Structure 1
Amino acid sequence: MKNQEPIALVSGSDDAYTLPLAVTIASAIKSLSADRRLDVYILDGGISDASKRRLLASWEDPRVSVQWIPVSRESFERFPVSHHINAATYMRLAIAEYLPASVQRAIYLDADMLVRQDLGLLWDEPQGDAALLAVQDYAAPFIDASTCLTNFEQAQPYLAAVHPIANFRELGLPADAPYFNGGMLVIDVKAWRERNLAKHLFECLEEHREHVLWWDQYALNVVLAGSWRSLDLRWNQGAHLYVYPSGEHSPFDSSTHRAIVEDPWIVHFCSPDKPWNYFCRHPYTDAFRKQVRQTDWHGWKPERPDEFMRRWWGHHYKPARERWKTQVRRIKENFRSRNRAA
């Protein structure tokens, strides 16, 4: 279908994140069906001209256009950051203000992803009246996981947060509402403009600063509560999936857990353990680095860290220790179950 509308794809970074940005967009192009087109919009938080040339070389494809949108990071620097999250992460909150007026709908991807499925399928998802389509967060799946998970006792030790919005009761949010990850979003840009959501999102961060967890994701889940629809979990496989030792300990049923482990459609490296670091245990590290070799960074190698032997020991010892601890937990759980049955 040659007359299909192009997919509006948005991502962004500063100059420090250009290698993973190259992989994110290149993998989306590689997975795209032949009859689809991509209009790529990059929120430019300080990407150098040299890096832009390398990115364009990495994304060269007749189906793809690229537009750079300069974004000043100064307006975001008053918001909290961490060692692997900087002010650029807040750019997505103002996405509707930055995109050209002609763009009415867009897919947003964080710049630390590996796309393994045709984004045309995601684009074809009906938006309906939802301002946003997103994927439930693997690390904190509900506003109050303690009331929603039937296996809460088993899952709790591995959840990143039981209450990702600590003041949900004061805000009037239902305890059983799902909580989404902000790394992959299908946005009704027109609705965001009409509702002036950028203003409301930043006001939320200011007003509830003491409760903010996970940066801009707090504001997205508060302001868009009840205005978003959940997508197939495979569209945003969060790194926290691998924290759960088994499907029984995860927030998902066994068939869903198996599907997102075996066939993620987008892999999201949303933890400090990044595949461009020398030591990375993520199962898709090799796939990420293979994609790097197909970009203009094809000669890249991860930098050998300081205190190499200490880090090497931790890299190999920690997984073995975690496996041992998991086995001990299972033995204790089985023992308790037998005692209750008796």
Structure 2
Amino acid sequence: MALHIALTFDDNFWAPAYTVMRSICLSTHRRADLVFHLLHMPLSAEHRADLERIGAEFGASLRFYPLADMPAFETLVAGLPQHGRWPKVVYARLMLADLLPPDVPRVIYLDCDMLVRWPIEQLYDIDLGGQPLGAVRDSIAPFIALRRDMVQNADIFDGADPYFNSGMLVIDLAHWRDIDIAAEIAALAASGVLSRLYFDQDLLNLIFRGRWQPLPWRWNTIDADAAHEALDPAILHFTKTTKPWALRAGILHATAYARWYRHVMTNELFYRFARHRWKRWWLKKLRLAR
């Protein structure tokens, strides 16, 4: 049976996407069953070739979904809040039920700032209790939902309600398709609250309120740092500003499994990604200086 995994990213995040996929492949014996659904903005030929190495090394299947060629994606994201750290591609996960083939029963969505350490099939086969969605409660909820002083969005969210992190989602696609996501977003837009929401995560928590299955924290270990190594996490989620691909002095060892992460990315790609990031940083500085 195939194991379907979905990622969303742009050309500036190709190396972390590669690392997520390679960590999954290294952590399971069922590599040939893996099918990676890659929802992406335009990719350079070099970066796409890097991603395709996953298939050559492990025998996994890769399916590419170029979002820039999909007018429906632009329609979906029009009017939704965006930010430099959260570009519009983050909303692509809302289209999984529309983009994936109808014979795909279930998919795991993963953010690209993650690292997988346990066999992914254990998560893929997890019981969702008849719900369309499985996720892990966010470690700093309800602060994210209620915002400043836990009152700013109290008219939208109830702090006593469970609130999940959207970086890892187990999706039952048949049940998901029973929900008209576009209509739910349109209703939220009509209510005037979109500009106050925390991107796709708030959207998903509102749409699936009371319709999701809480999963064990190990499947989305949020704010992963070195102390989490003793807890044997299944999936690490590097949500802090400090990322395991950072090269600044002392930063590399400030996140969990930092050395392991570098070698999963491979040394060659790790340093090439570092040069890519430095180039982007300097170009941004030069544009601001003009």
In which range does the TM-score fall when normalised by the shorter chain?
Answer: 0.7 to 0.9
The 3 A distance-change label for structure 1 pair 174 and 25 is same
Select the residue among 150, 166, 176 that pairs with 2:160.
176
For the residues of structure 1 that align with 2:218 and 2:211, how far apart are their CA atoms? 21
Q: Does 2:253 correspond to 1:284? A: no
For the residues of structure 1 that align with 2:151 and 2:222, how far apart are their CA atoms? 16
For the residues of structure 1 that align with 2:242 and 2:185, how far apart are their CA atoms? 28
Select the residue among 240, 246, 254 that pairs with 1:271.
240
Select the residue among 199, 214, 218 that pairs with 1:215.
199
Please tell me the residue identity of whatever aligns with 1:276.
W
Per-residue deviation, 1:51: 1.5
The 3 A distance-change label for structure 1 pair 88 and 227 is same
Please tell me the residue identity of whatever aligns with 1:83.
G
Mapping 1:153-232, distance limit 5 Å: 163=150, 166-167=153-154, 170-171=155-156, 174-201=158-185, 203-204=187-188, 207=191, 208-212=193-197, 214-232=198-216
Identify the residue that residue 302 of structure 1 maps to in structure 2: 274
Select the residue among 221, 227, 234 that pairs with 1:237.
221
* Residues 94 and 198, structure 1, Cα contact 8 Å, conserved in 2: no
1:181-217 C-alpha deviation (Å, 9 max, x unpaired): 00000001111212222441464356412421x2110
1:62-103 C-alpha deviation (Å, 9 max, x unpaired): 551111112136442532223322111111112111111211
For the residues of structure 2 that align with 1:144 and 1:12, how far apart are their CA atoms? 23
SS at match of 1:16: coil
Q: TM-score, normalised by structure 1?
A: 0.69
The 3 A distance-change label for structure 1 pair 288 and 161 is farther
Please tell me the residue identity of whatever aligns with 2:242.
D
* Residues 228 and 256, structure 2, Cα contact 8 Å, conserved in 1: no
Q: TM-score, normalised by structure 2?
A: 0.81
Please tell me the residue identity of whatever aligns with 1:112.
D
For the residues of structure 1 that align with 2:240 and 2:168, how far apart are their CA atoms? 15
Identify the residue that residue 138 of structure 1 maps to in structure 2: 139
Per-residue deviation, 1:286: 2.1
SS at match of 1:15: coil
For the residues of structure 2 that align with 1:215 and 1:302, how far apart are their CA atoms? 27
* Residues 31 and 58, structure 2, Cα contact 8 Å, conserved in 1: no
The 3 A distance-change label for structure 1 pair 236 and 164 is farther
For the residues of structure 2 that align with 1:185 and 1:42, how far apart are their CA atoms? 15
Please tell me the residue identity of whatever aligns with 1:223.
I
Per-residue deviation, 1:269: 1.5
SS at match of 2:264: helix
The 3 A distance-change label for structure 1 pair 35 and 216 is closer
Identify the residue that residue 86 of structure 1 maps to in structure 2: 87
Identify the residue that residue 23 of structure 1 maps to in structure 2: 19
The 3 A distance-change label for structure 1 pair 14 and 210 is closer
SS at match of 1:68: strand
Identify the residue that residue 283 of structure 2 maps to in structure 1: none
For the residues of structure 1 that align with 2:47 and 2:145, how far apart are their CA atoms? 43
1:239-270 C-alpha deviation (Å, 9 max, x unpaired): 1x659xxxxxxxxxxxxxx8785211111122
For the residues of structure 2 that align with 1:165 and 1:226, how far apart are their CA atoms? 22
For the residues of structure 1 that align with 2:24 and 2:46, how far apart are their CA atoms? 22
Please tell me the residue identity of whatever aligns with 1:283.
A
Q: Does 2:8 correspond to 1:32? A: no
Please tell me the residue identity of whatever aligns with 2:171.
I
SS at match of 1:60: helix
* Residues 137 and 162, structure 2, Cα contact 8 Å, conserved in 1: yes
For these two proteins, the number of residue pairs brought into alignment is 268
The 3 A distance-change label for structure 1 pair 289 and 165 is farther
Identify the residue that residue 129 of structure 1 maps to in structure 2: 130
Per-residue deviation, 1:45: 1.8
Largest Rg, 1 or 2: 1
For the residues of structure 1 that align with 2:92 and 2:182, how far apart are their CA atoms? 10
The Cα RMSD (Å) is 3.0
* Residues 131 and 192, structure 1, Cα contact 8 Å, conserved in 2: yes
Any unmatched runs of 5+ in structure 2?
280-290
The 3 A distance-change label for structure 1 pair 141 and 234 is farther
1:267-288 C-alpha deviation (Å, 9 max, x unpaired): 1122332222323332332222
For the residues of structure 2 that align with 1:198 and 1:51, how far apart are their CA atoms? 32
* Residues 14 and 51, structure 2, Cα contact 8 Å, conserved in 1: yes
Please tell me the residue identity of whatever aligns with 1:270.
T
